[in-house]
């Protein structure tokens, strides 16, 4: 249900609220194989409404999560 809410916020242009919900999803599911997907959606929101600094930060977070997931799968 949280994912549906986050997507609804995104569709309505409520990018900050969408990101907050995705961050909550990430914190509740720290071991999920879908972490990169959710972080990408935070990045998508930030690309739509964030500053360049915030955008770079979210790209880095996505890279960090990706590297972590690669180690977990190995």
What per-residue confidence (pLDDT) applies to 72?
85
Domain range for 48 is 2-73
pLDDT above 80: residue 60: yes
Q: What is the pLDDT of residue 74?
A: 72
Give the pLDDT of residue 73: 80
Domain of residue 23, CATH code:
1.25.40
4-58 residue pLDDT tens? 999 999 999 999 999 999 999 999 999 999 999 999 999 999 999 999 999 999 9
**3-class DSSP string for the chain:** CHHHHHHHHHHCCCHHHHHHHHHHHHHHCCCCCCHHHHHHHHHHHHHHHCCHHHHHHHHHHHHHHHHHHHHHHC
Domains: count for the chain:
1
């Amino acid at each position: 249900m949280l994912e549906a809410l986050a997507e609804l916020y995104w569709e309505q242009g409520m990018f900050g609220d969408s990101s907050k919900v995705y961050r909550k999803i990430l914190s509740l599911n720290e071991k999920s194989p879908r972490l990169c997907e959710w972080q990408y959606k935070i990045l998508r929101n930030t690309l739509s409404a964030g500053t360049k600094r915030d955008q770079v930060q979210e790209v880095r977070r996505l890279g960090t999560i990706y590297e972590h997931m690669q180690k977990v799968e190995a």
